Structure 1
Amino acid sequence: MDKHVLEPFIKKEDIAVKVKELGEKITRDFKGEKVLLVGVLKGAWMFLSDLSKNIDLDVEISFISVSSYVGEKTTTSGVVRLMCDIDRPLEGKNLILVEDIVDTGLTLNYLKKLLSVRKPKSISICTLLDKPSRRVAPINPDYSAFEIPDEFVVGYGLDFNNRYRNLPEIYKLIISEDN
């Protein structure tokens, strides 16, 4: 049986500071304009909630759901599937894709291609965590709170097999075999 060990990685106070900074930067960058925050489910919901409270603009919120993980794996399958689409038109809008983590970039590359044909005014990427060492697709976030090494992390919306999303901080997940 596998045993999960959670090693503290990023404290909630540090997350709050970075999320506030991102909100302030987005507010400056889009001054006088409206933005549509699109949270990539399920991982980005907590980050999107906190981020939206720190943006002083006219903000709309929507969600999109995609998947590239299968079962209890800690690596992506490489195949991105659309599970649930955005519920509003995008034409002429400043779209900000809000993601929990940018890893290989395959998911966001897929989403940018999918959504760009709907003619938004702009598409930006805002991520809580950026893991550039794993990048396969040519994606670079416009807004990023933390750059992290190649570790599997959970908490603050991020999960392993749908567990640990509710944790207020981010932890490295270490899976060991119990003999």
Structure 2
Amino acid sequence: MATSSPCVVIGDDEKGYDLDLFCIPKHYVDDLEKVYIPHGLIMDRTERLARDIMKSMGEHHIVALCVLKGGYKFFADLLDYIKALNRNSDKSIPMTVDFIRLKSYCNDESTGEIKVIGGDDLSTLTGKNVLIVEDIIDTGKTMKTLLSLLKQYNPKMVKVVSLLVKRTPRSVGYRPDFVGFEVPDKFVVGYALDYNEYFRDLNHICVISETGKQKYKA
């Protein structure tokens, strides 16, 4: 399925930026290889995604559904930009928010089976226009399963926005409606993406180092 929103494609040979060019928390300096997507670039891209979403879904009341925990930062920033558009343009849309927490893995392996372990009853989404906000699509299995789960509650429309989509041979071919960045098959952290709950407090999206993987291993 082709994405209706073009995205920034980061090539396999992208080297990233040296850590000492940016403000990195001291406790993470040895745990990261490179800054991959600087915070400012994330924010600019998110602003554009907000505009594209308004253009596509702007005739409707939207329920923005945040997939926790990794999606919370992108969700908050995206909604801030949509609220700014509501204030400053001719077209504005009423928006309500909801949260869902999923479990889709055993240790570090995705099972492809998802359990909803937090959030409201999905029946509140019946007849609504739903925008699912996700931090990263890896294989796409979790999102496909979530979409089929939502379908049972008959929402009027469902669109998905993901900050990142990973280029991986493990992909089932799922592509969201709106994509921020397409990234190579590397383990990235920061901007609320975690490694065993660490690195959520990092502004930039970075590639974790082997030292970091060992230090924060569960």
TM-score (norm 2): 0.74
Contact persistence 1:153–1:172 (CA under 8 A): yes
Give, in angstroms, the shift of residue 83 of structure 1: 1.3
Match of 2:126 among 91, 98, 101: 91
Aligned equivalent of 1:110, options 130, 145, 156:
145
Instruction: Letter of the 1:25 partner, please give it.
Output: D
3-state SS of paired residue (1:17): helix
Aligned to 1:48: 75
Alpha-carbon displacement from aligned partner over 1:94-147 (angstroms, at most 9, x marks no partner): 111110000000110111011111010111110000113245334211001100
Deviates more, 1:76-85 or 1:99-108: 76-85
Equivalent residue for 2:165, pick from 130, 134, 144? 130
Number of corresponding residues: 174
Whether 1:22 aligns to 2:56 is no
Counterpart check, 1:158 vs 2:185: no
Q: Provide the identity percentage.
A: 32
**3-state secondary structure, aligned to 1:76:** strand
* Cα distance in 1 for residues equivalent to 2:103 and 2:74: 18
Of 184, 192, 197, 1:149 maps to 184
Secondary structure at 2:203 match in 1: coil
Contact 2:63 2:96 in 1 (8 A): yes
Output the amino acid matched with 1:173: I
Mean alpha-carbon deviation: is it higher for 163-172 or for 83-92?
83-92
Match of 2:174 among 139, 153, 160: 139
Tell which structure's C-alpha radius of gyration is larger: 2
Structure-1 residue corresponding to 2:12: none
TM-score (normalised: structure 1): 0.89
Partner of 1:62: 98
Please identify runs of 4+ aligned residues in structure 1 that moved more than 4 A: none
What's the offset of the Cα at 1:15?
A: 0.3
Mapped pair 1:34 → 2:53: no
Structure 1 or 2: more strand by fraction: 1
Mind listing any 5+ residue stretches in structure 1 that lack a counterpart? none
For 2:111 and 2:176, locate their aligned partners in 1 and report how far apart those are by CA, in whole Å: 21
Partner-residue secondary structure (3-state), 1:20: helix
CA contact (8 A) 1:39 1:99 kept: yes
Q: Tell me, in whole angstroms, the C-alpha distance in 2 between the residues paired with 1:148 and 1:66.
A: 23
Distance 2:100 2:196 in 1: 19
RMSD after superposition: 1.9
